[in-house]
Amino acid sequence: MKKNILIIHTGGTISMREDKTGSVAPGETNPLTDKSDMISDLANIIIEEPFNLPSPHITPKEMLKLKSILDCHGREKKIEGAVITHGTDTLEETAYFLDLTVQTKFPIVVTGAMRSSNEIGSDGLYNLLSAVRVATSEEAKGKGVLVVLNDEIHTAENVTKTHTSNVSTFQSPQYGPIGIVTKRGVLFHHMPARQESYDIVDVSKRTILIKAHAGMDCSLLSAVKGLKVDGVVIEALGQGNLPPAALPGVKELIAENIPVVIVSRCFNGIVQDIYGYEGGGKQLKELGLIFSNGLNGQKARIKLLIALSQTTDMKEIDRMFQL
């Protein structure tokens, strides 16, 4: 018996067309909706299109709307899985937001495309079909929000966009995909070691992301304090170090009880309080900065936004980032 699968179209390259000048943009209709008959062989399809936005236009407000739609369907218990089509630029952030916040337990798969619907080698429809196949898989249950493109299945926590245009852009540094999609079926070879869940109804907290660099001073961090932000994520150097000239700005933020989360600007490895020199991770840890357990900068910002919706207690936020 075919399963009931919800497909939520949100926009992005997967729903766009290329014109004669080579410009890719949204059209009046989503080309994927014309392909529903191809998907209906795999599942009973329910389609919703809450908005049609390029992914740089997606904000936490849209992410929260998707969470609400999924939770509503979860309470009604009329569907057995969901697929979200999304632009690739911020796909990993939406997927991770949903992974942390959606309260329902059916499989949720996020997919997209690197080539628009009428380009040669368009990958959108194929990725959508693969995503539906994963969403209908019994083995997809209990693995959190999944990202499926290019025949690979990734966790929302680990996947990231690694190339500006290649169809194999989505990779999970260090860990790799947790499964593959083949012509014969959906194959998982391992599952996530941990899962978190936070119910959230508000995304009004302001969290920003800053990237450290050689010669960085405190001017940007001092300016951030004046912007009345609620939290800051810094992509630090190496294992979690900053130039010493940046320290006064960090201290100003900590003095204002603004949580500062440290991740690495490297895409492999985790930050640790190892180095004892001025600006080194050991000193930063002693100052009260929160060291994240392996997230990249954009996902740490999403998690800090969610954490601040739950608590302002520094110790509790630190605990959440160690999970």
- Cα 285–chain centre separation: 26
CB count in 10 Å sphere of residue 44? 13
Given 10, 13, 85, 90, the catalytic residue: 13
Residue 187, classed as helix, strand or coil, is: strand
DSSP for 241-309, written as a single string:
B--GGGHHHHHHHHHTT--EEEEESSSSS---S---STTSHHHHHHHTPEEPSS--HHHHHHHHHHHHH
Two structure tokens written together for 87: 């632009």
Q: Which residues pair with 211 in a beta bridge?
A: 235
Helices 60-76, 91-101: axis angle to 10 degrees equals 50
CB count in 10 Å sphere of residue 107? 25
Strands 170-171 and 186-188: unpaired
Q: Specify whether 90 is catalytic.
A: no
CA distances from 176 to 11, 153, 155, 179 (A): 27, 9, 9, 9
Q: In sequence order, what are the residues at sequence separation of 6 or more whose Cβ sits closer than 8 angstroms to the Cβ of residue 53?
A: 10, 11, 12, 62, 87
What's the CA gap between 121 and 26, in Å, rounded? 18
Residues with active-site annotation: 13
